[in-house]
Amino acid sequence: MARAIALLVILLVAWPAWGADEPVAPYRDAAEAKPTLAEEDRVWAAGERGEQAFIKPGHVYPDPALNLYLQTVLDRLFPEFVGALRVQAANDSGLNAFALPQGAIFVNMGLLARLENEAQLATILAHEGSHFTHRHAYQNNQKAKSLSGFARTAGILTGGVGALLGDLAANSSMSGYSQDLEREADLQGFRRMAQAGYDVRESVKAFELLAEEVTVLDVKEPYFFANHPRLQERIESFNALIAGYDGPAGETGEDRYSEVTRSLREQWLRAQLSEGKPKSIIHVLANPAMLVRYPVHAPYYLGESYRLRGNTGDTEKAVAAWRQAIVKAPEFAPSYRALGVQAMKQRDWAQARALLSGYLRLAPDASDAAYIRNYLELVEEKLKS
């Protein structure tokens, strides 16, 4: 990994500053999709090295069926570029997506968990794919007047694997291009959606959903939409495109999308908890309209998030959520453990015994089974005293 990053850093630091501003024609198909200029070849080479540095350590989300589904949607949007454009899910809980110069697209599992349907996914993929077909990475770098941007890149890359993802996203995603190139990607992506038969009205909904999340969570990380003015520009751009569209209504693909991303959504919940980010889970699962998109036992994660947040009244909210999880998913063991431990804290020994026993009945081989048995011994002592 270190060697791959070092090679990428060398390339970026050695990159010349472009002074010319010459327009380039978009690629017409996969056969034509190759660098034709020396400078563009350098851009592609850096992108290829960045891709390899990213995928080798296993940062690709390990779900072949999901990645095949993403590729199917991308091929539907860009049928003449099959083989030249490729997409994979990144095993990262952040809300991000980015395209590298040579046609590799990554969509974070955190973003996939938050989108509502295939049409919204198509919005992201069509936009990112248009950056590739219209050679925006080359055009953007062609306009650079100094090496300052690339020096910043090299500095970030030395920070490690996590920094690599942030850097690739910052320099290759929606926030990394000029306003004119972003507008072109909006327009071309919108056209791709319509031609592929997707409901273009979902395009703006994807960004409105993300805008709400940015506001609620006060996002500070370098997500592709984290810059509030840029995100608002995306919303205004797509609203204008929708207003001028008079074509047939397309499909949303909601059921198909929900089925394919079902497991991923739970992985996102687990990742947010392990990363100590309960606020995002509460934002999502406390909304009944959003909760239905997640596994039936999702209230358990909501309860855990209230427990971790620890604000006034959160204990009561956590208990209510865990109880809801048991009602909805009586075979999901962790809800019993959570309520059992809480009952112990409240010295409700009879309730603790019933709940912790229920946990062991459902998960006798759990990794923490020995600890729970110790808890039960303590509970039994309290009940006898």
Q: How does 59-73 read in b/e, with b if 16+ C-beta sit within 10 Å?
A: bbbebeebbebbbeb
- Using the predicted structure, report yes or no on whether residue 156 has a pLDDT greater than 50: no
Residue ranges and CATH numbers for the domains of the chain are 2-255 (no CATH), 263-384 (1.25.40.10)
- Give the residue among 93, 66, 97 at the shortest CA–CA distance from 270: 93
Helices 299-309 and 278-285, packing angle to 10 deg: 140
- Bridge partners (DSSP) listed for residue 106: 88, 98
Across 2-11, 71-80, 215-224, 279-288, the highest mean pLDDT is recorded for: 71-80
> Residue 106: helix, strand or coil by DSSP?
strand
* Percent of the chain whose pLDDT exceeds 70: 82
Q: How many residues are listed for the chain in this entry?
A: 385
The pLDDT of residue 56 is 78
Helices 369-384 and 334-345, packing angle to 10 deg: 40
The pLDDT-based confidence of 5 (bands split at 50, 70, 90) is: very low
- Mean of the per-residue pLDDT values of the chain: 84
pLDDT tens digits along 53-85: 888 777 899 999 999 999 999 999 999 999 999
Say if CB 372 and CB 359 are below 8 A apart: yes
State how far the Cα of 152 lies from the Cα of 155, in Å rounded to an integer. Answer: 5
- Using the predicted structure, report yes or no on whether residue 290 has a pLDDT greater than 70: yes
Instruction: Tell me the helices (H) and strands (E) count for the chain, helix number first.
Output: 20, 3
pTM for this entry? 0.84
pLDDT tens digits along 343-370: 999 999 999 999 999 999 999 999 999 9
The pLDDT of residue 22 is 59
pLDDT tens digits along 89-140: 999 888 888 888 899 999 999 999 999 999 999 999 999 999 999 998 888 7
Total Cβ atoms within 10 A of residue 74: 24
